[in-house]
Amino acid sequence: MNSASAGVANRTPLIDPFGRAISYLRVSVTDRCDFRCVYCMAEDMTFLPKRDVLSLEELDRLCSAFVARGTRKIRLTGGEPLVRKDIMTLFRSLSRHLESGAMEELTVTTNGSQLARYAGDLKACGVERINVSVDTLDPVKFKAITRWGDLAKVKAGIEAALAAGLKIKINAVALKGVNEHEIDDMIRWAHADGMDLTLIETMPLGDIDGDRTDQYLPLSQVRADLMDRWTLQDIDYQTGGPARYVRVAETGGRIGFITPLTHNFCESCNRVRVTCTGTLYMCLGQEDAADLRLPLRQSESDAPLHAAIDEAIGRKPKGHDFIIDRRQAKPAVSRHMSVTGG
């Protein structure tokens, strides 16, 4: 793997116009997925041609450039990152930054379908904590939400990950009329195995088959409902992401709330996202972006890449403008979540 960034460790940290240090990079390694979740993708998706997608070597070089500028945490996402051919090559290469101390955490968000195969390898690469997306514990409903998913296979993957010593956070998108009455059961299930549960409001990204106004469930309402049955204690726990956590007194476990619509989390944003094509999005909820693929491919030197990153971070906005458009049912942002990375 390319290590051209190794000599630029003394470069200045990335600070945006509002004084926020950029220390967290989320990288989509593929737009492809073996599920077709109804809130994320259309069923008949057209995926990118291979030539447009960064190679594993280019992804390593890009990630390493950010590490050289002060990024301490990298999360690999997709689509489904573990369906990318030879993806463990990238994990193994990036693990050198963990060994050197330049990076604190390398992690992944996955749908769990490939975890039985890769859990041990992830742990061996220095991954300590992963996020697994599970929106329901009902196998029939799971199939309906994911279209192509098998809950039994995902649960087997989670068991393999726990056996390998990985800490797990379950991500569940709160969907009105779909899983709102299952949240109590998901709390019991996750906390019984020492897993955190994070609830996420559906985000208006990309055209899908259906109307998001029917799906939208405000987490302020969910939390109020939970407080009728559980004792929720505010805590200072953070993972570097946008979730606000509470502890459930009855279980001892944690619940996180990610609320891009009812209460945005922009004031402390330390994150940027890079797509599998090398497009840098300074904000998930804005269309403004920068092309990092061109400087990656036009020069063996990392100088043009760093210049492009600097210029982009200088345009990072203060916050996003997510809304659910109830009149036209249009997404706030046209690209799909699977393109940007979760």
Binding residues for GTP: 26, 75, 109, 169, 271-273
Q: How many CA atoms lie within 13 A of 201 on its CB side?
A: 26
**Dihedral of alpha carbons 181, 185, 188, 189, sign:** negative
Q: Which residues of the chain have pLDDT under 50?
A: 3-10, 205-208, 212, 263, 322-338
Encode 285-319: b = buried (16+ Cβ within 10 Å), e = exposed.
bbeebbebbebbeeeeebebbbebbeebbeebbee
List strand residue ranges (DSSP E) for 43-91, in order.
73-77
Binding residues for S-adenosyl-L-methionine: 39, 79, 133, 203
Binding residues for [4Fe-4S] cluster: 33, 37, 40, 266, 269, 283
CA 255 from centroid of its chain's CA atoms: 17
pLDDT in tens, 108-149: 999 999 999 999 999 999 999 999 999 999 999 999 999 999
- The CATH number corresponding to 4-172+269-340 among 3.20.20.70, 2.60.120.560, 3.30.565.10, 3.40.50.300 equals 3.20.20.70
Residue of 46, 43, 128, 121 lying closest to 82 (CA atoms): 121
- Rounded Cα distance between 112 and 151, Å, is 9
Domain residues of the chain, as ranges?
A: 4-172+269-340
Largest CA distance in the chain: 59
DSSP letter for 82, please.
Answer: G
Residue of 16, 12, 13, 70 lying closest to 266 (CA atoms): 16
Instruction: State residue 4's pLDDT score.
Output: 45
Write down the pTM of the prediction: 0.86
- Rounded Cα distance between 187 and 248, Å, is 9
**With contact defined as beta carbons under 8 Å apart, do 281 and 333 qualify?**
no
Q: What is the CA radius of gyration of the chain?
A: 19
Mean pLDDT (the chain) is 87
Encode 247-280: b = buried (16+ Cβ within 10 Å), e = exposed.
bbeebebbbbbbbbbeeebbeebbbbbbbbbbbb
**With contact defined as beta carbons under 8 Å apart, do 60 and 93 qualify?**
yes
Token pair belonging to 11: 């470069």
Binding residues: 26, 33, 37, 39-40, 75, 79, 109, 133, 169, 203, 266, 269, 271-273, 283
3-state secondary structure of 39: coil
Residue of 272, 273, 274, 277 lying closest to 54 (CA atoms): 277
Cα separations in angstroms, 260 against 173, 189, 208: 12, 26, 19
How is 136-169 classified by DSSP, letter by letter? Answer: -S-HHHHHHHHSS--HHHHHHHHHHHHHTT-EEE
**With contact defined as beta carbons under 8 Å apart, do 308 and 80 qualify?**
no
Instruction: State residue 192's pLDDT score.
Output: 98
